[in-house]
A and B are shown apart, each in its own frame.
Chain A
Amino acid sequence: MAAPMELSCWGGDWGLPSLHPESLTVMAYAKFSGAPLTVNTINNTWRAPKGDVPALISQDIVISQPAKILNFLRKQKYNADYELSAKQGADTLAYIALLEEKLLPALLHTFWVEAENYCSVTKPWFASRIAFPLSLYLPGKMSREALNRILLTRGRPPLYSLTEVEAQIYRDAKECLNLLSKRLGTSQFFFGDTPTTLDAFVFGFLAPIYKVCFPRVQLQEHLKQLPNLCRFCDDILTCYFRLTVSGHSPAGQDTADANLQKLTQLVNKESNLIEKMDDNLRKSPQHPPRKLTTLKLATGGEESSPISRLSP
């Protein structure tokens, strides 16, 4: 029996279990391989661990970085790649490299560097989940690190200007999405019918782009033009994370039902009131027979006549 394992990572929103690509990758892999993980999302208590996120804690060992965490899980016999051939394993490495080199810069840019997105969505979301006063500092630091990474890997020395690089990284990201779509084709997962490490990584990178609502969404718009990738994300969310496509968890669905019930009750009350008024009117002194007859003939029924007289 394996020791209990805890995963500390960023939480989710917009129908995702986590907003953070690396956290999402690890969570997806754990679901695919059946690893029992207790997930602790970081909230603004001081008990949140410092250092790299996501982090796997098992019997006082702390492992960070998705690749190392996945390795650890495999050693504990939670292996989602059991049925892959050697060549498929090699393909996995290659496609993960493609994601990191071509898609990640644009993903980082959309979340952390694009000013409108960062100020209106990313910063408030992360700041609300970090304890004060770290919440004043940490989002800014993450943003600077993201910008740094983009400029150092794609920028040109010695000045490293962002504007030159921006257009190129989005072009590369869109090309990467096209390549992934072509590779996936009509299969359910990248290597047949069971999800593997590669599916976890692709899901981790794609789902945040797909679901999070930003003001500047050029990457999301491009992704929505690739229906097989969208279906891929939705399938994993519904099958492995039990979230409906609209993003409501079953609990959310109940609230919607409760609202619907209340509304129905109100409508019933209204119609009861109207029926009472109808009775009162019939008992009241009769109007000149001509009008009543005309009304009766026109509407063809007793109930509708008082309503048509009463309505404005």
Chain B
Amino acid sequence: TAAEPWPENAALYQQLKEEQILLSDNASSLAVQAFLQMCNLPIRVVCRANAEYMSPSGKLPFIHVGNQVVSELGPIVQFVKAKGHSLSDGLDEVQKAEMKAYMELVNNMLLTAELYLQWCDDVTVEEITHPRYGSPYPWPLNRILSYQKQWEVRRKMKAIGWAGKTLEQVLEDVDQCCQALSQRLGTQPYFFNKQPTELDALVFGHLFTILTTQLTTDELSEKVKNYSNLTAFCRRIEQQYFEGHDKDSSTTVAARSAKRSLLR
């Protein structure tokens, strides 16, 4: 099955775009979409309210290719590599190590900060997360699912030592992470100079989503905007890989979000 070529009807599943999806899942989904676009592999985005439960690992997004289902960026990159497409083949061993380290940095700091903000910051939870997360379901199921997920995320935060952090400290961590990414990127177009890799896709997914999602405060997006090379990076990838595709619903994500801060 690994030898089969990439089919035309490959699909990426995520939650409902307008009403339900949250910051962190949107970022992860956009990262996978960017990666597949960079590999020139066609994919259509399918929105389902129960996407989380359909996923084999419980995490989003997942792709349905042929008769296989793979979730999360890491496994998807390996799956795509088995089919003969790779963005990081041109890197030497030390560069590959660096790329993996920076991807972990994004997961460790940015993704965790997004989860913290949407599930542990009371204001955000009340005004954005709870209404959105359970929105496809009737009461009381929507509240129950919301609280269950919140409890799960808070347990995880406690286990890794983030439960004791204040919002300011989390934003500090985001700033530190963005500073590191900005310094690593420098003046290059992509992290490994001329060609984008899965790291570029991952960073784009998170930073673009942060920049273009409206939350209760602008503090999170302000942290990213402090680094002009990062905003330029996001604009560059958006223009190159997401504009000019007519039927691809991935443009809806970029186009809808483009109405907001990025081009202001």
Point out residues on A near B: beta carbons under 8 Å.
Answer: 65, 86-87, 89-91, 93-95, 97-98, 100-102, 145, 148-149, 152-153, 156-158, 179-180, 182-183, 185
Our pick among A94, A152, A158, A185 for the contact of B156 (Cβ within 8 Å) is A152
Is B109 within 8 A of A182, CB to CB? no
Q: Let me know if B177 is at the binding interface, CB within 8 A.
A: yes
Contact (Cβ within 8 A) A101 B104: yes
Shortest Cβ-Cβ A-B pairs, 9 listed: A90-B180, A94-B101, A97-B108, A179-B97, A97-B105, A98-B101, A94-B105, A90-B183, A97-B104
Q: Are B160 and A101 in contact (CB under 8 A)?
A: no
Chain A residues within an 8 Å CB radius of B94: 182-183, 185
Docked-complex contact B108 and A179, CB < 8 angstroms: no
B58: Cβ under 8 A from any A Cβ: yes
B93 touches A94 (CB 8 A): no
Instruction: Determine how close the nearest CB of chain A comes to the CB of B111; give it in whole angstroms.
Output: 11
**Contact across chains for A156 and B104 when beta carbons are under 8 A apart:** no
Pull 18 A–B residue pairs with CB atoms less than 8 Å apart, ordered by A.
A90-B184, A91-B98, A91-B184, A93-B176, A95-B101, A98-B101, A98-B104, A101-B104, A102-B104, A149-B160, A153-B156, A156-B58, A157-B58, A158-B58, A179-B96, A180-B97, A183-B94, A183-B98
Interface string of B77-104 (1 = CB under 8 A from A): 0000000000000000110111011101
CA distance A152 to B112 in the complex (A): 13
B156: min CB distance to chain A, Å: 4
Shortest distance between the CB of B185 and any CB in chain A (Å): 9
Q: Taking A94-B105, A148-B159 as given, write out 20 further A-B residue pairs in contact, using a Cβ cutoff of 8 Å, ordered by the A residue number.
A: A65-B161, A87-B183, A90-B181, A90-B184, A91-B98, A93-B177, A94-B184, A97-B101, A97-B108, A98-B104, A152-B156, A153-B156, A156-B57, A156-B58, A156-B59, A179-B96, A179-B97, A182-B94, A182-B97, A183-B94
0/1 interface trace, chain B 140-170, chain A, CB 8 Å (1 if under): 0000000000001001100111000000000
Q: In the complex, which residues of chain B have a beta carbon less than 8 angstroms from the beta carbon of A89?
A: 180, 183
- B-side residues, CB < 8 A to A, are 57-59, 93-94, 96-98, 100-102, 104-105, 107-109, 152, 155-156, 159-161, 176-177, 179-181, 183-184, 186
Residues of A within 8 A of B108 (CB): 97, 100-101
Q: Given A89-B183, A97-B105 in contact, is the A183-B58 Cβ separation under 8 Å?
A: no
Complex: A148 Cα to B163 Cα, angstroms = 14
Interface secondary structure of B, over-half rule: helix
Among residues of B, the one whose C-beta sits closest to the C-beta of A181 is B97
- What does DSSP make chain A's interface, helix, strand, loop or mixed? helix
CA of A148 to CA of B157 in the docked complex: distance in angstroms? 11
**Is there an interface contact between A149 and B159, defined as CB atoms closer than 8 Å?**
yes
- Specify the chain B residue showing the minimal Cβ separation from A85: B183
Taking CB atoms, residues of chain B closer than 8 Å to A180 are 97
Across the interface, A93 reaches (CB within 8 A) one of B152, B161, B180, namely B180
In-complex Cβ contact of A101 among B107, B155, B186 (8 A): B107
Cβ A97 vs Cβ B109 within 8 A: yes
Give the interface centre of B105, B109, B177 by most chain A CB atoms within 10 Å.
Answer: B105
- Once the chains are docked, how many angstroms separate the CA of A149 from the CA of B162? 12
Asked if B186 and A87 sit within 8 Å, CB to CB, the answer is yes
CB <8 Å contact, B155 and A94: no
Q: In the bound complex, how far is the Cα of B109 from the Cα of A145, in angstroms?
A: 21
The distance in angstroms between the C-alpha atoms of A90 and B155, with both chains bound, is 29
Distance to closest chain A CB from B246 (angstroms)? 38
Q: Is the CB of A179 within 8 A of B180?
A: no
Residue in B98, B101, B184 whose Cβ sees the most chain A Cβ within 10 Å:
B101
A33→B105 CA distance, assembly (Å): 25
Cβ-defined partner of B97 (8 Å) among A65, A101, A149, A183: A183
